[in-house]
């Protein structure tokens, strides 16, 4: 009898059906830190202030980005005036008409590589943490520039790897017309 740890693992592992968003978040062309932050966002597992308060952490739950409401996933990404400025700037940059207002709307956006909201989710979370841990703040336009730079860099990398979506990305990002 041949021992196979892979077979043992498959036999004892509890298998769950694949989530509808799994292939949109976890794929070969993803930037890992964007995927991880987006995964936590989708599952509502980021340590936002509302979650930390539910763990009996004594803190002021006011949003660090806008100072206008209690921080939660939905506030941070959809109701926050700071985040709204970033989303609106992205919409204008990409000539899109609407800002996502619900988590499910973001999930419909994920397959679109040139508007990749995972970069925005990551940069907004990074700005929140920069304010929390470093006491530094950046204006929405800087966050927008970080997102655009990240998307351009990702497009360049995919182009150099001859990824199937690279011709479309190259036309979007690098054609002067």
Q: Would you say residue 163 has pLDDT above 90?
A: no
Q: 113 or 133: which carries more pLDDT confidence?
A: 133
pLDDT tens track for 151-161 = 888 888 888 88
pLDDT grade, residue 87 (50/70/90)?
confident
* Residues of the chain above pLDDT 70, percent: 88
Our measurement of the distance from residue 169's CA atom to the centroid of its chain's CA atoms, rounded to an integer in Å, reads 19
- pLDDT in the model for residue 177: 55
Structure token pair of residue 160? 């150099």
d(C-alpha 129, C-alpha 65), whole Å? 10
State the pTM of this model: 0.84
Give the start-to-end residue ranges of the domains of the chain.
Answer: 29-174
pLDDT of residue 51: 96
What's residue 139's pLDDT? 96
Mean pLDDT (whole number) for 120-147: 95
Q: Is the pLDDT reported for residue 106 higher than 80?
A: no
Q: In this structure, how many other beta carbons lie within 10 angstroms of the beta carbon of residue 153?
A: 13
pLDDT digits (tens, 9 = 90+) for 22-63: 877 887 778 899 999 989 998 999 999 999 999 999 999 999
Lowest mean pLDDT of 20-29, 50-59, 67-76, 79-88, name the range: 20-29
Q: Residue 142: which pLDDT band, with cuts at 50, 70 and 90?
A: very high
């Amino acid at each position: 009898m041949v021992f196979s740890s892979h077979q043992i693992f498959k036999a004892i592992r509890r298998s769950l059906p694949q989530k509808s968003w799994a292939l949109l978040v976890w794929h070969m062309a993803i930037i890992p830190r964007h995927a991880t932050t987006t995964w936590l966002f989708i599952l509502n597992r980021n340590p936002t202030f509302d979650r930390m308060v539910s763990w009996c952490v004594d803190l002021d739950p006011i949003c660090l980005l806008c100072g206008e409401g209690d921080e939660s996933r939905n506030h941070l990404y959809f109701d926050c005036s700071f985040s709204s400025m970033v989303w609106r700037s992205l919409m204008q940059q990409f000539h899109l008409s609407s800002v996502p207002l619900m988590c499910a709307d973001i999930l419909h956006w994920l397959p679109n590589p040139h508007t990749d909201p995972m970069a925005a989710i990551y940069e907004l979370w990074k700005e929140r943490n920069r304010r929390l841990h470093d006491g530094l703040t950046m204006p929405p336009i800087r966050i927008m520039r970080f997102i655009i730079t990240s998307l351009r860099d990702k497009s360049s990398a995919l182009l150099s790897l001859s990824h199937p979506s690279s011709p479309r990305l190259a036309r979007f990002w690098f054609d002067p017309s």
